[in-house]
Amino acid sequence: MNPPTLDGLELEAKPHAQFLATEHWSLLATRSMTWNEIFSRTGTYLTVLSATVIALSLVANATGFGESFQTFALLVLPVALLVGVGTYFRLIEADIEDAWLVIGMNRLRHAYVELAPELEPYFVASHHDDAPGMLKTYSFRSRVGLTHWLSGSPVVIGTINAVVTGVLAAVICEASGAGDTLRTIVGVITAVVTVALLAFVGYRKIRHVTRDYRPRFPS
């Protein structure tokens, strides 16, 4: 009985392919767990934040934004912010881990191509472990636009954290007796500084990982 063919090319059984496939499925399962954690942590933070906003609304209706509201806001907003900052840094770490898993699967895919070069035209994802190869596996393109990065979970969570930080700063100013103009200015500046700080820390983490990386199978 003749072996199966693709475009008239016979596929010879490769004993190493089973080990590669097992490792590939292991990385794929780990990547699935990483994405589940990303969604879970993001959802948990948004739930905590929603509960905080609802609680603040109820207290505001009951106290008329008086001193009791300020005290309550100063108690619950730092807790929500702590959860948000922890979520942001974990999302950065999860994205880095996901990138390493993609690199591993691209390397395994490169081994598939070495074992059976005739299969290369059938791969949609990349079999190179450099930056263009990773992006091709992620989005099936060699580069992505600004909208892709802005829609990422870390950017969304970081922006929400900046807003919460600005609101917390405004509440602190209100509790200190500051006027409306000063509260607004302090809140906006605090939010902008928080965005810049979170972006800088996230960039440093990513830069620390990628600085010494050298691809084994560049494009």
- Reply yes or no on whether the pLDDT at 78 is more than 90: yes
Structural domain count, the chain: 1
In a domain, 9, yes or no: no
Residue type, 163: V
pLDDT at position 210, please? Answer: 87
> 107-116, 145-154, 157-166, 188-197 — which is least confidently predicted?
145-154
pLDDT at position 1, please? Answer: 45
Residue type, 211: R
Tell me the pLDDT tens digit for each residue of 179-216.
889 999 999 999 999 999 999 999 999 899 888 889 99
Would you state the structure tokens that stand for residue 120, as one six-digit string?
């290369």
CA distance linking residue 20 with residue 56, whole number of Å: 54
In a domain, 198, yes or no: yes
Which sign, positive or negative, has the C-alpha torsion 55, 61, 65, 71? Answer: negative
C-alpha distances in angstroms, 104 versus 99, 101, 108? Answer: 9, 5, 6
**H or E stretch at 12:** none
Q: Give residue 111's domain range.
A: 16-210
In a domain, 205, yes or no: yes
pLDDT at position 15, please? Answer: 67
> 71-85, 88-102, 115-129 — which is least confidently predicted?
115-129
What SS3 state is found at 105?
A: helix
Q: Are the C-beta atoms of residues 91 and 41 closer than 8 Å to each other?
A: yes
Q: Are the C-beta atoms of residues 5 and 11 closer than 8 Å to each other?
A: yes
pTM greater than the 0.95 cutoff: no
Displacement of CA 140 from its chain's centroid (Å): 18
Tell me the pLDDT tens digit for each residue of 3-12.
444 454 454 5
> 26-40, 144-158, 203-217 — which is least confidently predicted?
144-158
Number of CB atoms found within 10 A of residue 136's CB: 21
In a domain, 187, yes or no: yes
In a domain, 3, yes or no: no
Rg (CA), the chain: 25
Residue 117 pLDDT level (bands cut at 50, 70, 90): confident
In a domain, 199, yes or no: yes
In a domain, 139, yes or no: yes
Number of CB atoms found within 10 A of residue 206's CB: 15
In a domain, 163, yes or no: yes
